[in-house]
Amino acid sequence: MITTQGDPVKLVERDEELAALDGLLAGFTRTRGSVVLVSGGIATGKTVLLRTFAERAAGRGALYLGAVASRLERNVPFGVLEQLFRSPDLPDASAEAAMRWLDAGVRGASPDGTGPAADAGRLSSPVLRGLCDVLRGLTDGRPVVIGVDDAHYADETSLGCLFYLLRRLRSARLHLVFSECTHLAAANALLHSEVLRDPSLCRIRLEPLSREGVADMVAARLGTQDARDLAPAFHEASAGYPPLVQALIEDHRADPGMAAAAPAGGDAFGRAVLNLLYRYEPPVMEVARATAILGEHASVKLLGRILDIDAGSVAQALNTLTGAGIWADGRFRHAALPAAILDGTPPTARMVTHGRAAELLNNEGVAAAEVAAHIVAADHIEAPWVIPILREAAEHALANDNVLTSLHYLRAAYQLCDDERQRPAIASALADAEWRVDPARVLRHLHEINPAANGHPLDGMDGYDGFTPVTYLLWHGRMAEALDIVGTSPHDRDGVPSAADLETPRLWAAYLYPGLLRDHFAEHPGPTAHGAGWAAAPNPELQGAAMLASGLVHGSANGILDTAEGILQRSRLNHRTFAPLTSALALLIYNDRLDQAAAWCDSLLEEAAARSSPTWHALFSAERALIAVRRGDLAAARRYADFALRLIPPASWGVAVGLPLAAMVHAATAMGDVEDAATYLDVPVREAMFQTRMGLHYLCARGRHHLEAGRPHAALSDFRACGKLMAGWGIDLPAVEPWRAGAAQAHLLLGEELEARRLIDGQLALLSPAHLRTRGISLRVQAATRDVDARPALLREAVAVLERGGDQLELAYALADLGDACRARGEARDARALARRACDLARTCGIDLPDRGDAAEPAEADPDAGRATELSDAEQRVAALAADGYTNREISERLYITISTVEQHLTKIYRKLNVKRFDLRSALQRSGADMADDPAPGVPREDGKVRLVGDEPRPQQGGGRKLWPANRSVAACNGCG
C-alpha cells in the first residue's frame, strides 16, 4: 500500500513486476547476492514499486538501506553512500563504523571530486575493507537490501563503492536494487557498464498504465460507474502516468462537473504536469513551454531561435517528450497538457516568449492572424509593423465572424497607436466590430471617428471612411451630429457626396427617420419613386438600395417589392448588407407580405446567429416579433420580442428599442396581460425615438394598451400623435401603422360615432387593394360605425380579405363581429357557427373568446340571462369584483377570504355562467345582477367592513366595451352584441 494525500492506493497494473520481486524475496535466506534494475519513464511508478519492495523485504526480515539520488548532488562524492549508512534501521554501531570509514574516504578526496577518492578503484584499501567488514557483519545476521532510487543521478564514487562491495561480498546475502529513468538524455554510464554484465541481474521494465489500468485506479477512488465514464478521457489526458491520473481524480472529486469527454484538469493536474516536466533535464521544460506558447508553429528552427539554443538540443528535447508519450504528431497529445504548462509559466516569461515569437513569425511571413495573437499576448511591442498586422488580423477575424477575436486585436491596436492619422481609422474599425456585439459601446469612440467635430481634417486619413459614424449616430438618436458629418465629409468632384458613400446612411435614415430623409437628403440628387436619379451603387451588395429607401418613404411603387425580394435572395448577411436586408424585410412587412417576410426573417435569424452578432440577431428578432404580431401569433411575438431584448439590453437599442417594446406591448395587451404590458411601457426610451418609425409602432401599441385598460382619451392622444408624425413626414401610409383604426375605436368608446366613421372611411380611401391585412382591419372597424343592417356585408368582406391577408387574430375578431351582427339580425344558426370558428381561431393565436356557438337570438333568449341568479351570495361578491378587474389576491384581501377560496368560487362561477374571466362583466350585466360597487371611502359595506381612502376599485381593464384587441365583437360597442 502507498499513501497519497489521504486515502491509501494500491499499486495498479504491476502484478508481474511484484511477482518477480516476490521471487527474489522468497530466496533471500539462501541466495547469494543479486542485482535488480527497475527501469521506465519518469512518473511510471518506479519509486512506488521500490518502496513497496522495501516494505515487503523488511517484512521478510531483511535490513533495507535506502537512498534517493538527486540531480543536484550528482557531483557530490559519497552522497548516496552517506544516505545508505544513515538509514534509520541500521544498528548504531554499524552506522558509526561506516561513517568513520566514509569520513576517511572523504578526507582523501580532492575538493572537485577528481582526486583519488572519486574513483572507487583507487580508493584506499583500508576504506573499502572497512566498509566491506561493516556490510559483512550485517549480512551475517540477516539479508541486506540496498535500494537506490533514481540511480541515474547517483554520484560515481558511491556507485563504484557499491559494485566493489558487491563483487567482494558475492557469497554474502547482499542485494542491490536500482531504479533508473530511461527517458533522460544523460544516462549513468558506470551504472550501465556494471549492472548489465552482472550475472545475477534481474531487469524489470515499467510502462505507463493502459486504459484498463487507469480504469482500475479511478474505480478505487471514485467507484465503478465513474471509472466507466471517466477512464477513456483520463487515460488520454494523462498518457497513463499514475501521478497525472491521481491528479485528475483529485480534481474530479473537487469539481464533479468536470467534463468526462475532455477534462481540462484543475489545480492538482496542473501541478502534476509541471512536476513531471521539471524532472526532465534541461531544455525539456523550456521546449515544452515554448511549444505550448507557439502552438502549431512550434518548429525546431523557430524554437531554437526563441530559446537561443541549437536545433539539435531542441530536437532531442522533442524526442524525449515524444518517447514519453506527451508529444505526438507535432502537438501535445491532449489540450489539458499545454494549458497546464501555460498556467504554470510566469507571466513575464510568457510575454517575452510571445514577443520574440511575434517578431520571428512576422519576419517569416506567417499569416497576420497568427502573429497578432502573439502581439496581444506580449502586451506591448513597439515596432512599425505591429499595428498593420493587428488591423489585418482583425479584419480577417471579423470576415470569419470571430467578432470577439477581432475586438481583441483592434483594442490592442487602439491602445498601441499614437498616430493621429491612423487612430480614427482604428477607432472606426473598432466601432464596427463593437456595434455587432453591443451598440452602446460605440458611443465611447464617436468623438474619435468624427474628427471633423474636433477640427481635424478628414482628407488623407489612413483607411478612414468619413460616413462610418452616421449609422451609429442615427441609431442612438443623435441626428444633428449625423447630419453634420454628411455636410462636412469629403465630396466628389461635383461637390456632393457620392452615391456609394451615402447609400447606407440613406437607407438607415429611410428606415429609422423618414422625415430626416425627406428634409435633409433632398438636398442631394436622390432616386425617384422608381429608383432613378442616383447612379447605381458600384458595390453589387448595394444594388437596389436607392429604390428601397424610396419605397420606405413613399410607399410601394412598381417593382419595389421585386427589388426587395431580389436583395434578400442574392445578399449574404454582413456589415455592408445589413441595412439593405433590414430595409427589404421592412418593405415586405409594411406591404402586408407577411408570409414572405416571415420566411426571409427566419433565414436571416439563422444567419445572424451563425455570424456571432447579437445586434443583427436582436434586430431581426424584433422584426420577427412585428411579423408575428401582424400574423396574430401572439405567443411567438412575445417570445421573439423577449429574446431581442435579452440579446442586447434596452440601453443598447438606441431609438430602435421601440420595435421590440411595441411588439411586446401589443402582444401582451391582446392576450389580456395588461399588467405585464405596462411593465414594458415603463422601460425608459429616448425622446428621439418618437421621431422614428419605431416610435410609430410604439405609440400605436401604447394606444391599444390604453384602450384595453379603459382609457380611451389617452389612447386617442397616442393614435393622433402617430398620425401627426406620419403626416409630417409625408408617409401617411396605413399599412405602416393603421392609426386611424385605433383612433376610430377610441371615438366609438367615447360615443363619437361620426368622427370614428370619418377616420376609418379616410383610411380605406388611402389603401391599395394589395394591402389585404390593413384593409381587413379597416373594414372591421368601419362595420362598427354602420347600422346593424349594413354591418354583415362589410364584415363578410373583411373576413374574405383577412383570410388572404394572413392575420389570424384579426380574422378571429372579424368572425366574432360577424357572428354578433348575424345574431342581432336573428340569424342564430349562422351566429353560432361563426362564433365557434372565431373561438377556435382565437385560441390558436393565444387568447380565448367567449364561446357563443350555442347562443340563441338575443331578442328571444340569452343563455346567460338569469343564470347569475344561480350564484350564491359569496359567488356573486367574488364575481362582481373579478368583473371589475381585481386580481384573486386583491379579492381575497377585500372579502377577507383565502386565495384558494377565491379560486374555488371562480371555478364554479365560470361553469355556471359558461364564460371566461374577461367576459364576466358582460355576463353579469346581461343577467341584471348587481355589480356590487364599493361604497365611498369610509362608508361601511354590507359585510360591515369599511373601505379606506385610496382603496377605490381599480378601473375596469377593458370592461364590457373592449375594442382593441377586441376579445369580443366590435359590434358590441353599439349595444348589438
In the chain, the amino acid numbered 136 is R
Q: Are residues 163 and 22 in the same domain?
A: yes
DSSP secondary structure string for all residues of 679-713: HHHTS---GGGGGSHHHHHHHHHHHHHHHHTT-HH
Contacts of 256 (CB under 8 A, 6+ apart): none
Residues 547 and 566 sit within 8 Å (Cβ to Cβ): no
Question: Residue for cell digits 383565502?
Answer: 898
CA-angle at 610, arms to 607 and 616, nearest 5°:
60
Residues 650 and 658 sit within 8 Å (Cβ to Cβ): no
Q: Is residue 358 part of a domain?
A: no
In the chain, the amino acid numbered 149 is D
Q: Are residues 843 and 879 in the same domain?
A: no
Residues 620 and 628 sit within 8 Å (Cβ to Cβ): no
CA distance 290 to 338: 10
Number of domains in the chain: 5
Percent of the chain that is helix, strand, coil (3-state, to 5):
65, 5, 35
Looking at 233, 249, 277, the residue that finishes a domain is 277
Q: What does the block give as the cell for 331?
A: 502537438
| DSSP H or E segment with residue 68 | strand 63-68
Q: Are residues 158 and 247 in the same domain?
A: no
Q: Are residues 963 and 883 in the same domain?
A: yes
Q: Are residues 260 and 189 in the same domain?
A: no
Q: Are residues 116 and 257 in the same domain?
A: no
What averages of pLDDT result for each successive group of 10 residues across the chain (977 residues)?
Answer: 43 88 75 85 91 90 93 88 92 92 75 43 71 89 92 88 85 89 67 77 91 93 90 91 92 77 76 91 92 86 92 91 87 89 90 92 90 89 92 92 92 88 86 91 80 49 61 88 69 46 79 77 43 46 73 76 90 88 93 93 94 94 96 94 94 95 96 92 94 95 94 95 92 92 94 94 92 94 93 94 92 94 88 90 83 42 55 84 84 82 84 77 69 40 37 36 35 33
Q: What does the block give as the cell for 725?
A: 408624425
632: left (phi over 0), alpha (psi -120 to 50) or beta: left
Other Cβ atoms within 10 Å of 408 Cβ, number: 19
Looking at 229, 260, 277, the residue that finishes a domain is 277
Q: Are residues 41 and 188 in the same domain?
A: yes
Q: Is residue 722 part of a domain?
A: yes
CA distance 736 to 696: 9
Q: Are residues 117 and 202 in the same domain?
A: yes
Q: In this structure, what CATH number is given to the domain that contains residue 96?
A: 3.40.50.300
CA distance 754 to 479: 40
Q: 0.75 exceeded by the pTM?
A: no
**What pLDDT does residue 965 have?**
41
DSSP secondary structure string for all residues of 224-262: HHHHHHHHHHHHHHHTT-HHHHHHHHHHHHH-TTS-SSS
Q: Are residues 137 and 193 in the same domain?
A: yes
Looking at 778, 806, 835, the residue that finishes a domain is 778
3-class DSSP state of 38: strand
Q: What does the block give as the cell for 555?
A: 410607399
Q: Are residues 843 and 937 in the same domain?
A: no
Q: Are residues 188 and 142 in the same domain?
A: yes
Q: Is residue 392 part of a domain?
A: no
First to last CA, the chain: 90
Residues 576 and 539 sit within 8 Å (Cβ to Cβ): yes
Q: What does the block give as the cell for 451?
A: 474628427
DSSP code at position 959: T
Residues 154 and 124 sit within 8 Å (Cβ to Cβ): no
Q: In this structure, what CATH number is given to the domain that contains residue 910?
A: 1.10.10.10
Contacts of 884 (CB under 8 A, 6+ apart): 921, 931, 933, 953, 954, 956
Q: Is residue 195 part of a domain?
A: yes
Q: Which range of residues forms the domain containing residue 806? A: 786-858
Q: Is residue 936 part of a domain?
A: yes
CA distance 402 to 372: 14
Alpha carbon 835 to chain centroid, angstroms: 47
429: left (phi over 0), alpha (psi -120 to 50) or beta: alpha
CA distance 712 to 16: 92
Q: Is residue 159 part of a domain?
A: yes
Other Cβ atoms within 10 Å of 962 Cβ, number: 25
Q: Is residue 253 part of a domain?
A: yes
Encode 449-509 in three state secondary structure: HCHHHHCCCCCCCCCCCCCHHHHHHHHCCCHHHHHHHHHHCCCCCCCCCCHHHHHHHHHHH
Residues 952 and 937 sit within 8 Å (Cβ to Cβ): yes
DSSP code at position 178: E
3-class DSSP state of 171: coil
Q: Is residue 929 part of a domain?
A: yes
Q: Are residues 719 and 768 in the same domain?
A: yes
**What pLDDT does residue 918 have?**
66
Residues 317 and 307 sit within 8 Å (Cβ to Cβ): no
